[in-house]
């Protein structure tokens, strides 16, 4: 597997994990610091096994890490996969920005041409283009 295809696989895992709103909310909660699975589950109307499945998807994507402190296994957010996704998006954002700038320039040109072509309403008579 090439470096590019491995990177794309990581991106696929990251975007796949981020595709679910529950997992995005879990990550948002983890921005405040390490949290247990039971704490992460509180705001959701789900069973602990259902939340655990979401945690496993996030863990497989590298978006969270679980550590062990005796009986407590807190989850912690990992930023690297999000940075990789941001860098990939940024490549396309630059392309979109160039295209939006070109489109804006095109619209300005159309407006300028339209304004130059207009005949003042006071000078226009139906059927004739003469001043009264």
Q: What is the pLDDT of residues 65-119, one digit of tens each?
A: 998 776 778 999 999 999 999 999 998 998 899 999 999 999 998 888 877 777 6
CA distance linking residue 93 with residue 88, whole number of Å? 9
Q: Would you list the domain boundaries of the chain?
A: 3-78, 82-117
pLDDT at residue 38 greater than cutoff 80 = yes
Name, in order, each residue with C-beta under 8 angstroms of 38's C-beta and a sequence gap of 6 or more.
48
CB atoms within 10 A of CB 63: 25
Beta strand ranges found along 43-125 (DSSP E): 64-66, 75-77
pLDDT at 71: 73
User: Which fold is adopted by the domain 3-78?
Assistant: Arc Repressor Mutant, subunit A (1.10.10)
Tell me the C-alpha distance between 95 and 89, whole Å: 10
Lowest mean pLDDT among 52-61, 98-107, 122-131: 122-131
Q: Return d(Cα 103, Cα 88) in angstroms, integer.
A: 23
Whether residue 127 has pLDDT greater than 80: no
């Amino acid at each position: 597997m090439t470096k590019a295809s491995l990177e794309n696989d990581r991106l696929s895992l990251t975007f796949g994990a981020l595709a679910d709103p529950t997992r995005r909310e879990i990550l948002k909660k983890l921005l405040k610091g390490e949290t247990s699975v039971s704490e992460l589950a509180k705001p959701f109307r789900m069973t602990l096994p259902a939340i655990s499945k979401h945690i496993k998807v996030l863990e497989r994507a590298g978006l969270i890490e679980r550590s062990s402190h005796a009986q407590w296994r807190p989850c912690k957010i990992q930023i690297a996969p999000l940075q990789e996704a941001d860098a990939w998006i940024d490549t396309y954002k630059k392309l979109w920005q160039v295209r939006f700038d070109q489109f804006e320039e095109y619209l300005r040109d159309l407006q300028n041409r339209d304004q130059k072509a207009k005949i003042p309403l006071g000078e226009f008579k139906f059927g004739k283009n003469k001043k009264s």
